[in-house]
Amino acid sequence: MKNTTKLIVENWRKFLNEEGEPTAVAVLGAPAGGKSYTMNKLKQVVDDVSSFKATMENGEELTVDKVRGEIQAMDPKEQMIGFVHAFYYLKDISQKDEAEFGKWFRDIKSLWDEKLNKLIPDIEISVSDEDLLFNGNSSINSLALLDNIDCDKIIKDLHPYHDYKRITRYFQSKKADDAITRYMGVRYDESGDEPNKIVKQLDKLHNKDYITDTFLIHPENVATNIIQNFFRVVTGGDGGRDSSAAIIDAYNQIENNKQVYSSNAEESYEIESSELDQVKEPLRNANVDDDEERGDKPIDVFVRIKGMKPQQAYNIFKEKVEEKKGKEAVPVFNALLKYAYLYFKDMPSDAKSALESITRDTSESEALEVLRSAADAGDYVFAHGGVTPELVKSAESVMTEAFSVFNKYLRLF
């Protein structure tokens, strides 16, 4: 592993001597928006833009999911030490910018105060705004106490996603600092629903002489993301996890704040996914020298890619459902989409209308019966979700109500 890392660094330095500055690439967008697919297409289109290509292929990947996976593969004691360091890292950045990072620090404080405190009874733990104490002493100077506790058991009692949110940010920052030291390209894959944080990260890299390219994969209608989400639910992608609530929240936040990216960019573009060739020259010409007329902007090139329309997405993913699970899975897919627009309250009205139109041939009662049968059969239950009894209960809460309202409406005539 060390030899591989050394070779990558040597090749990167050789490349820099020939080509100039390293590049930071941020790929943003709500989950299930086709970020990986779109960026793979973009790599093909701009294959001869060497600095961008080098970052996408060999740069340090700072994607949250990847970093979290690396943390969870560590020795349990090393993970616990990471939770200690995360406290102090988040304390430091929140003191510098409380408005932006205060919640992150409050989250790690709560984790230590309300959960880890109870999971580690052999150490007296106290938490304040200033310090995390082990037996009355600063934890950072008392890490040896972790030698005497069952770290493996503690780790197993933590939620693999929620409890790792803040420690992941600590390790992400650490990896970024290491990459900057080695002058390597870096790439992020984030939802982008907190634009000021993303801009601050890119500004840090920009000030270290990095070219900064930002891509926002953001359809005009979040129904596109919801369709791709339920393709995963019905086929077992991402363990069948239904991320609808997170998708809608992230999409709405991005929609309300996407101008932050364009206003912090020297060059800004808005294109369809079929127009990727339009950004080839801007990416090729990007450099760290600031344009005097446009000011010192942290983002060199910002590109918003609209992506598919809902009906197009449905046609594509309906075929993929049939390929992966057979024709009998298509009614399940349709029933899930009907459930989605009835159940999720914060879904924008245009998304509800699109999903209602797509599923108009399926009634609420038919959809509910399909979901009940699917849950009973167990053919669509996966590690983190799928068509489960819990999902059916949620569907019953809205589909039964919708069906009753419809019947009352008919009785008026």
Question: How does pLDDT run across 206-264, given as a tens digit for each residue?
Answer: 999 999 999 999 999 999 999 999 999 999 998 999 999 999 999 999 999 999 999 99
Per-residue H/E/C for 77-106: HHHHHHHHHHHHHHHHHHHHCHHHHHHHHH
Model confidence band, residue 408 (pLDDT cutoffs 50, 70, 90): very low
Residue 9: the pLDDT is 47
Question: How does pLDDT run across 330-376, given as a tens digit for each residue?
Answer: 999 999 999 999 999 899 999 999 999 999 999 999 999 999 999 99
Residue 7: the pLDDT is 54
Cα–Cα dist 146/153, whole Å:
12
Cα–Cα dist 197/202, whole Å:
9
Q: Where are the domains of the chain?
A: 20-63+181-305, 68-166, 319-408
Nearest partner of 134 among 151, 152, 116, judged by Cα: 116
DSSP state of 290: P
Residue 285: the pLDDT is 87
**H/E element, 382:** strand 381-382
Q: Is the pLDDT of residue 25 over 70?
A: yes
Which sign, positive or negative, has the C-alpha torsion 217, 191, 342, 234?
Answer: positive
Q: 0.85 exceeded by the pTM?
A: yes
385-386 and 381-382 beta bridge pairing:
antiparallel
Query: Structure tokens of 240?
Result: 């069948």
CB 226 within 8 A of CB 358: no
**H/E element, 294:** none
Phi, psi for residue 189 in degrees, rounded to 5: -130, 105
Q: Is the pLDDT of residue 160 over 70?
A: yes
DSSP state of 147: G
CATH architecture of 20-63+181-305: 3-Layer(aba) Sandwich (3.40)
Model confidence band, residue 287 (pLDDT cutoffs 50, 70, 90): confident
Number of residues that make up the chain: 413
CB 85 within 8 A of CB 177: no
Q: String of b and e for 268-281 (b: at least 16 CB within 10 Å)?
A: bbeeebeebeebbe
CA distances from 45 to 53, 253, 303 (A): 10, 30, 14
Cα–Cα dist 284/19, whole Å:
11
Question: How does pLDDT run across 47-86, given as a tens digit for each residue?
Answer: 878 889 899 999 999 999 899 999 999 999 999 999 999 9
Which sign, positive or negative, has the C-alpha torsion 93, 97, 186, 183?
Answer: negative
Over pLDDT 70: what percentage of the chain?
90
